[in-house]
C-alpha cells in the first residue's frame, strides 16, 4: 500500500531539505529512485533583475541552476540521485515534475513558520498536498525550537495515528499504517465527531457527547471488522477534527500521522481537505498524506 518509489524531494538548499533527502534515501533501496528538484521561484526571477546592484544580474539559466544543484548534491554526498531544475511557482511546478517522472511519493521539508515566512513556505506545502496526485510525506521540526532541530535521518515510525472518516480512502490509510508501523499494537485508529455530525449522521435527536463518542467507537470496531483488519486500538473523539487530531497525536507521542486525502475541491475540500491542511500546519509530527487509487497515480 505504501508506494516507495520513485520519490521526489524539493530542495531550497536548506538543512531541512537536506534532511528530507536523507529520509527519502532511507525509504528506497537505490538513490537513483530519488529525484531532487530545485525550483527557481517567481520572485527570484522577477525581483532580482529590478533590485540587483552588486554587479551582473544573477544567471538563472537552467544550465546554471542544474550546475549549482549538482555541485550541492556532490558536496552533501547524496549519491546517485536524479536531478531536475525548473523555473516558476514552486507549488505548481513541483506537482508538474511529479507527473512527469511518475512520482509515487513526495518528501517535503516543512519549517513550521508563521507570518510572511509561512505564506512563502507553508503555502507551497499546502499547494503540493492539494494539487498532486501522489502521496506526500511532510516532515517537521519543533516549532518552538530556537535552533533548527533536524528530524531523524531515517523513516522508521514506531507509533502511528490514523484519523478515519469510514471511506475507502480510510481503509487504505489503515493498511498503509499497518505496513509502516513496527507493531500493530502501536497503530491508533481514531475518528473525530465534530458538532455538525449530530445533525449529519445521527439525525436531530439530542445526544450527549458520551453517547456520540460511544456510537463512533462502535462504528470503528464494525468498520475494522468489515474490512478485515481485526482488532486495533480505536478511539472515538469529540471536537474540531484538525485540532483534535493534532492534540491526540501529541498526547500519545506519535511518530507519524497517516491522513487519507482525496484531493477534493470546493465545498467538499473545505470539509475534508482543510482538515488535512490544518493538521499539517499545526502539528510537529511528520504527516503522510495518501492519495487513493482513484487519483490517477502513475504505475
- Are residues 289 and 231 located together in one domain of the fold? yes
pLDDT score at 194: 72
Closest of 90, 19, 23 to residue 4, by C-alpha: 23
Is pLDDT at 265 greater than 70 in this prediction? no
Same-domain pairing of 101 and 48: yes
State mean pLDDT over 65-69. 93
Contact partners, residue 101, CB within 8 Å, separation at least 6: 6, 8, 35, 82, 84
**For the packed helices 90-100 and 115-131, what is the interaxial angle rounded to 10 degrees?**
30
The closest alpha carbon to 162, from 279, 264, 256, 253, belongs to 256
Predicted model pTM: 0.82
Does a structural domain hold residue 146?
Answer: no
Q: Based on the structure, what is the number of domains in the chain?
A: 2
Cα gap 163→170, rounded to integer Å: 8
Q: Are residues 196 and 114 in the same domain?
A: no
CA gap 24, 18 in Å, rounded = 10
DSSP 228-251: T----EEEEEES-HHHHHHHHHHH
Report how far residue 246's alpha carbon sits from residue 244's, in angstroms, rounded to the nearest whole number.
5
Query: What confidence tier does 112 reach under pLDDT thresholds 50, 70, 90?
Result: very low
Domain hosting 227: range is 160-295
- CATH classification at residue 103: 3.40.50.620
3-state helix, strand, coil in the chain (%, to 5): 45, 20, 35
If asked whether residues 165 and 286 sit together in one domain, one would say: yes
Q: What are the tens digits of pLDDT across the range 4-60?
A: 889 999 998 988 899 999 999 999 999 999 999 999 875 555 554 445 555 555 566
pLDDT tens for 123-180 read 788 889 888 889 999 998 655 544 445 456 788 899 999 999 888 889 999 999 999 9
- Helices and strands (DSSP H and E) totals, the chain: 11, 10
148 occurs within a structural domain: no
pLDDT band at 247 (very low <50, low <70, confident <90, very high): very high
Residue in the block written with cell 518509489: 5
> Residues near 77 by Cβ (< 8 Å), separated by ≥ 6?
none
Taking only Cα atoms into account, the Rg of the chain, rounded to an integer number of angstroms, comes to 20
In the predicted model, what is the mean pLDDT of the chain?
80
Q: Tell me if 250 is assigned to some domain.
A: yes
Residues 190 and 259 grouped into a single domain: yes
pLDDT by residue (tens digit) across 70-102? 999 999 999 999 999 998 888 889 999 999 999
**What is the structure's pLDDT at 204?**
52
Amino acid at each position: 500500500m505504501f508506494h516507495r518509489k520513485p520519490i521526489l524531494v524539493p530542495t531550497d538548499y536548506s538543512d531541512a531539505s537536506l534532511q528530507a533527502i536523507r529520509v527519502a534515501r532511507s525509504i528506497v533501496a537505490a538513490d537513483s529512485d530519488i529525484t531532487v528538484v530545485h525550483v527557481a521561484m517567481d520572485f527570484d526571477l522577477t525581483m532580482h533583475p529590478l533590485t540587483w546592484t552588486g554587479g551582473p544580474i544573477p544567471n538563472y539559466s537552467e544550465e546554471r541552476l542544474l550546475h549549482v544543484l549538482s555541485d550541492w548534491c556532490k558536496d552533501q554526498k547524496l549519491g546517485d540521485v536524479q536531478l531536475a531544475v525548473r523555473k516558476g511557482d514552486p507549488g505548481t511546478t513541483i506537482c508538474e515534475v511529479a507527473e512527469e517522472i511518475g512520482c509515487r511519493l513526495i518528501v517535503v521539508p516543512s519549517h513550521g513558520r508563521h507570518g510572511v515566512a509561512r505564506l512563502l513556505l507553508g503555502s507551497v506545502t499546502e499547494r503540493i498536498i492539494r494539487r498532486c496526485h501522489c502521496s506526500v510525506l511532510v516532515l517537521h521540526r519543533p516549532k518552538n525550537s530556537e535552533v533548527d532541530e533536524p528530524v531523524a535521518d531515517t523513516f522508521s515510525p514506531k507509533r502511528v495515528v490514523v484519523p478515519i472518516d469510514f471511506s475507502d480512502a480510510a481503509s487504505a490509510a489503515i493498511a498503509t499504517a499497518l505496513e509502516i508501523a513496527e507493531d500493530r499494537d502501536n497503530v491508533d485508529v481514531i475518528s473525530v465527531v465534530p458538532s455538525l455530525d449530530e445533525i449529519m449522521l445521527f439525525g436531530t435527536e439530542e445526544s450527549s457527547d458520551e453517547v456520540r463518542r460511544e456510537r463512533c467507537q462502535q462504528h470503528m470496531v464494525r468498520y475494522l471488522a468489515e474490512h478485515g483488519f481485526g482488532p486495533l486500538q480505536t478511539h472515538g473523539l469529540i471536537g474540531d477534527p484538525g485540532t483534535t487530531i493534532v492534540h491526540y497525536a501529541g498526547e500519545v507521542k506519535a511518530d507519524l500521522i497517516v491522513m487519507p486525502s482525496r484531493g477534493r475541491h470546493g465545498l467538499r475540500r473545505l470539509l475534508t481537505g482543510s482538515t488535512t491542511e490544518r493538521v499539517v500546519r499545526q502539528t510537529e509530527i511528520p504527516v503522510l498524506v495518501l492519495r487513493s487509487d482513484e487519483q490517477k497515480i502513475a504505475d
